[in-house]
């Protein structure tokens, strides 16, 4: 399996939109495998291709049962969804409701902020077997899907923070970006081809 590196804030690959996948090749399957490895090692719930320096439309998600709970009753929100998920070419079909919850990102380490998302989304995607699938998700899973689909468009959760939060975190983000630009000179997280 190929060893992948996590790309962090300031790396320009995070701002590139991903291209759709035409066919699920062995190479793409091993990319997804490598993405899971990075995601689990960093204890994340999801990861998109740009976060490992790739610009193809694939994201991986694994929301554990304890994070898939109703805040009040403790009932599972998405009991019918088998984890983990690999989504190629995910496309939004419908969204409902809204939820302003705290969000973070492996590519923007140690930074959390409230982000307004739809409470429920229906998406279509292609799975690892090349089958077209449709999924409706609620709660944290819906948030994770929206977050990863943003990544595939080159959008980061910090773009969706409130204006006040953006001002208060501007210095931190500027520093992260500057440090990354210095590291890029040393060849951190080079972009690959799929
Ligand atoms: Zn992220």
pLDDT value of position 2: 64
Evaluate if residue 1 carries a pLDDT over 80.
no
DSSP state of 138: E
- When pLDDT is averaged across residues 14-25 and rounded to a whole number, the result is 97
Q: How far is the CA of 149 from the centre of ligand 1 (A)?
A: 9
Any idea what the CATH number is for the domain that residue 136 is in?
Answer: 3.90.45.10
Are 83 and 63 a contacting pair, CB within 8 Å?
yes
How many angstroms is it from 51 CA to the middle of ligand 1?
A: 8
- Would 16 be classed as within a structural domain? yes
pTM of the model: 0.94
Task: Examine residue 5 and state whether it is found in any structural domain, yes or no.
Answer: no
> Ligand 1 mean position to 45 CA, how many Å?
9
Residue 191 lies in a domain: no
Dist CA 2 CA 113 (whole Å): 33
pLDDT at 74: 81
| Burial state string for 12-31 with b = 16 or more CB within 10 A and e = fewer than 16 | ebbebebeebeebeeebeeb
Q: Give the Cα separation of 193 and 135 in Å (integer).
A: 29
In a domain, 160, yes or no: yes
- Higher pLDDT pick, 181 / 54: 54
84-142 tens-digit pLDDT: 999 999 999 999 999 999 999 999 998 999 999 999 999 999 999 999 999 999 999 99
CA of 60 to the centre of ligand 1 (A): 11
Distance 185 CA to ligand 1 centre (A): 23
Chain-centre distance of CA 36, in angstroms?
12
Q: Is residue 194 part of a domain?
A: no
Is 148 catalytic? The answer is: yes
What range does the domain containing 52 cover?
Answer: 12-184
Position 167 pLDDT exceeds 90? yes
Q: Active site residue: 23, 33, 120, 148, which one?
A: 148
CA distances from 154 to 24, 90, 160 (A): 22, 14, 12
**pLDDT tens digits along 37-81:** 999 999 999 999 999 999 999 999 999 998 998 877 789 999 999
Total domain count, the chain? 1
Judge whether residue 144 has pLDDT over 60. yes
Distance of CA 147 from the midpoint of ligand 1 (Å): 6
- Note the pLDDT of residue 71: 77
Residue with tokens 């229906």: 122
Instruction: Look at residue 72 in the predicted model and tell me its pLDDT.
Output: 78
* pLDDT (mean) for 168-190: 86
């Amino acid at each position: 399996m190929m060893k992948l590196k996590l790309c962090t804030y300031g790396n320009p690959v995070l701002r590139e939109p991903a291209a759709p996948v035409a066919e699920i090749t062995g190479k793409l399957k091993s990319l997804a495998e490598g993405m899971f490895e990075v995601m689990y090692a960093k204890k994340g719930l999801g990861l998109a291709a740009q976060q490992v320096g790739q610009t193809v439309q694939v994201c991986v998600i694994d929301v554990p049962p304890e994070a898939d709970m109703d805040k009040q009753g403790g009932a599972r929100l998405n009991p019918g969804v088998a984890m983990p998920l690999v989504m190629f070419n995910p496309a939004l079909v419908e969204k409902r409701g809204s939820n302003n919850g705290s969000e973070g990102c492996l590519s923007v380490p140690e930074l959390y902020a409230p982000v307004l998302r739809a409470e429920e989304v229906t998406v279509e995607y292609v799975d690892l077997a090349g089958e077209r699938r449709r999924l409706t998700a609620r709660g944290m899973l819906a948030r994770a899907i929206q977050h990863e689909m943003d990544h595939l468009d080159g959008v980061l959760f910090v773009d969706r923070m409130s204006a006040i939060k953006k001002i208060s975190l501007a210095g931190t983000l500027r520093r992260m970006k500057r440090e990354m630009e210095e590291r890029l000179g040393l060849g951190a997280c080079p972009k690959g081809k799929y």
